[in-house]
Amino acid sequence: MNKHSELAVYNFAYLDEQTKRMIRRAILKAIAIPGYQVPFASREMPMPYGWGTGGVQVTASILGPDDTLKVIDQGADDTTNAVSIRAFFQKVAHVAVTTQTAQATIIQTRHRIPEETLQDNQVLVYQVPIPEPLRFLEPRETETRKMHALEEYGLMHVKLYEDIARNGHIATTYAYPVKVEGRYVMDPSPTPKFDNPKMHRSQALQLFGAGREKRIYAIPPYTDVVSLDFEDHPFEVQQFEEPCALCAASGVYLDEVVLDDRGGRMFVCSDTDYCEKRRDNGHVGHLNGETAGAVK
């Protein structure tokens, strides 16, 4: 059937050029108004909504033939969805891919920011499920847009205050709201709040794509990104009691790995590239050697 051969022909990076232009315009607007959610005519993509279609569209629109792409999910390059998205761009754009943070020009991520500080020649593309930080306080888009326009963020502060009144803490551990350049309250995507400080005055351009919700937003380089808090309850990040069991890193985000059914646990770097690099440089964690095979 003739259609078979036609089906196999796709434009560079899948999207047609008109669509890319439309998305680039949205990105430019987003950069011009840091933290503001720009509506865009999101396309259907060949992976399901909620699986990174927004990030994929942003990446497809900024990707050039000379770029080097890294894709991570939960900090790791080898999680199934990261593998799938990386393979997609290899197939439709024939770009170079890497797992090394420093070598990538574009890093698409879900749920983490790499531990290694990003540079000004890098772009971090976030996959965003629900771009609206006020959504769980007010389900209606018509209302939340109004609240952003009026800079009416009292509801968010009340929510955080109620957390403290009930629990003694702000009980938000990921997707922790931030204020961008003193104006828009923004959802950093469901990254653990541990990563929030990395967004502040980052040298890299940070782009956020929400495909199903049809929104793009951005943090230009060197932009103030402040996590919401109170004077007497300042923002804090998670602390881990032990270092990475494989590379002995501390001050990084760790994944908990269940070792057996008797409560055995180990904690390892969520950022697999960071962990591997440290191990290559001779850092040895207290469990390295015994279980490293299982993790690798």
Partner 1 sequence: MYVAVKGGETAINNAHQLLADRRRADRSVPAMHLEQIIGQLGLGVDRIMAEGSLYDCELAALAFKQARGDMIEAIFLLRAYRTTLPRFGYSNPIDTETMLIERRISATYKDLPGGQLLGPTFDYTHRLLDPELMQDLPVEAPTTREAETGPAPRVSEILAQEGLIENDGDLPDDHQTGDLTRQPTEFPMSRDVRLQALSRGDEGFLLALGYSTQRGFARSHPFAGEIRIGEVDVEIDVPELGFAINLGRIRVTECQMVNQFSGSATSPPQFTRGYGLVFGQSERKAMAMALVDRSLRARELGEDITAPAQDEEFVISHSDNVQATGFVEHLKLPHYVDFQAELELVRRMRAEHDRNRPDGNVGETPSETLEAAQ
Catalytic residue set: 35, 244, 247, 269, 275
Token match 């990084």: residue?
252
- If binding is defined by CB under 8 A, does position 194 make contact with partner 1? yes
Nearer Cβ to partner 1, position 50 or 64?
50
- If binding is defined by CB under 8 A, does position 138 make contact with partner 1? no
Residues touching partner 1: how many (CB under 8 A)? 66
- If binding is defined by CB under 8 A, does position 49 make contact with partner 1? yes
Nearer Cβ to partner 1, position 239 or 281?
239
* Choice from 91, 169, 201, 286 touching partner 1 (CB under 8 A): 169
CA distance to 10, 102, 159, per residue, from 239 (Å): 46, 25, 24
CB of 21 to partner 1, least distance (A): 12
User: Contact region for partner 1 (CB under 8 A) — 28-36, 135-143, 198-206, 279-287?
Assistant: 135-143
Q: How far is CA 27 from the centre of its chain?
A: 16
Which of 110, 75, 89 has its CA nearest to residue 45? Answer: 89
User: Contact region for partner 1 (CB under 8 A) — 28-36, 98-106, 153-161, 253-261?
Assistant: 253-261
Nearer Cβ to partner 1, position 41 or 66?
41
CB atoms within 10 A of CB 234: 8
What's the first-to-final CA gap in the chain, in angstroms?
44
User: Contact region for partner 1 (CB under 8 A) — 96-104, 161-169, 221-229, 275-283?
Assistant: 161-169
CB atoms within 10 A of CB 290: 12
DSSP letters along 132-176, please?
Answer: -TTTTT---HHHHHHHHHTT--HHHHHHHHHHHHHHSS----BS-
251-255: which pairs have CB atoms within 8 A and are 24 or more residues apart? 252/115, 253/75, 253/112, 253/115, 253/192, 253/194, 253/195, 255/74, 255/75
- If binding is defined by CB under 8 A, does position 66 make contact with partner 1? no
Angle at 45 between CA 43 and CA 49, to 5 degrees: 90
Q: d(Cα 76, Cα 106) in Å, to the nearest integer?
A: 15
- If binding is defined by CB under 8 A, does position 167 make contact with partner 1? yes
* Choice from 13, 30, 76, 218 touching partner 1 (CB under 8 A): 76
User: Contact region for partner 1 (CB under 8 A) — 151-159, 163-171, 196-204, 221-229?
Assistant: 163-171
* DSSP assigned state of 118: P
Binding site for partner 1 (CB under 8 A): 1, 3, 7, 10-11, 14-16, 18, 39-46, 48-51, 53, 73-76, 78-81, 83-84, 87, 110-112, 129, 140-142, 165-169, 171, 173-175, 190-194, 212, 214, 238, 253-258, 270, 294-295
